[in-house]
Amino acid sequence: MRFLISRLSALGDVVCTLPVASCLRQAFPDSHITWVVDPRFAGIVDCCNAVDEVIRAKPGFKTSTWPTFKAPFDAALDMQGLTKSGIVVGRAKAPLKLAYHWQRELSRLFAGPVLPDPTSIHIVDQYVDVARATIEALNSPSPRRGSSSRGGGRGVGNDLPTNFALEPKPEDIESVRAILVERGVTGRFVAMNAGAGWATKRWPATSFAQVADILAEQGIASVFLGGRAQADHDAFSEVVAVAKHPPVSLVGATSVRELVALLSMAEAHVGGDTGSTHLTAALGKPAIGLYSITKPQRSCPYGQMSNTLYDPSGLAAIPADAVLALLASIVATG
């Protein structure tokens, strides 16, 4: 079997889509899985053991930006539901073309939606429903595109465990270890992300500083991460301005692959509904998620609802003591 997955962006969404590849791999162990992704987030897919080929593409108005495929596929999946991700599927030769049900723009022209099973609440489970519908269709006598399908949910393919198949590259582990040593971090550390795509998803800098200060007094470093955007640097600067013990910054200092390595080495991660939170959970590490405007049942760090703190009135209402209590149950101090 040959499969094509189109999920271009963004970091957290790409992470949450990884179980689609591993689900297909478990159902068809000898299959070949190709993933088309925005170059900015390709490092995530590079670290997924279930993907055989990673194609970097950023489809735009010019046809020269659209990927081409020499060989046909048995199924092509649009996991993003936008015109640009649909174009990728449209370019593929495949008898079966399915999509995540939330289709916008012109994406419905290229693939039929898979309606999630009623039991699938979390976004990861809804993505996996697309893989289950694909498996069911390919196991049927006459696979076809169809206008819509229903996800397998508790039925077809549910015996396949949700697995992100994510593993850091050894060279990235060594690179990150060297960066940490340069910044004086040689022991245990907790990763934190003070930034987020939306200001309403950011926990107050004073709260991050309070947690980092307590950890410092317990001999545990706080390593802040983030992208190269000025907003991420500003968010960290706000924390530094009120912290008693200056935390360590790796904001904008790592590649995406190195971010995978960094989080695999951390004791835990503290952050809002942002990419690094989902990435930490995908690595099987404790991820403390801070939520207010998004429902944690749908988008909490996968499998870690017990590590999620939620207050619909706003993130400022979540006290630092609540985060410290969770960390105390996760990170041995002394």
DSSP characters for 7-22?
Answer: ----HHHHHHHHHHHH
The b/e string for 4-42 (b: 16+ C-beta within 10 A; e otherwise) is bbbbbbebbbbbbbbbbbbbbbbbbeebbbbbbbbebbb
**Of residues 188, 197, 162, the one with CA closest to residue 276:** 197
- Report the alpha-carbon distance of residue 185 to residue 246 in Å, rounded: 12
CATH 3.40.50.2000 domain locations along the chain: 2-150, 170-330
- Report the alpha-carbon distance of residue 79 to residue 13 in Å, rounded: 9
- Report the alpha-carbon distance of residue 32 to residue 55 in Å, rounded: 13
Q: What is the pLDDT of residue 160?
A: 62
Q: Cβ(33)–Cβ(53) under 8 Å?
A: yes
- Report the alpha-carbon distance of residue 151 to residue 133 in Å, rounded: 5
Tokens 């979540």 locate to 318
Q: What is the pTM of this model?
A: 0.94
Q: What is the pLDDT of residue 201?
A: 79
- Report the alpha-carbon distance of residue 197 to residue 17 in Å, rounded: 19
Q: What is the pLDDT of residue 196?
A: 76
12 Cβ contact list (under 8 Å, min separation 6): 273, 274, 275, 277, 278, 279
Q: What is the pLDDT of residue 146?
A: 43
- Report the alpha-carbon distance of residue 104 to residue 172 in Å, rounded: 36
Q: Cβ(193)–Cβ(224) under 8 Å?
A: yes
CATH number listed for the domain at residues 170-330: 3.40.50.2000
The CATH class of the 2-150 domain is: alpha beta
| Residue numbers in the chain where pLDDT is lower than 50 | 146-147, 153-158, 334
pLDDT digits (tens, 9 = 90+) for 148-171: 566 554 333 445 668 999 999 999
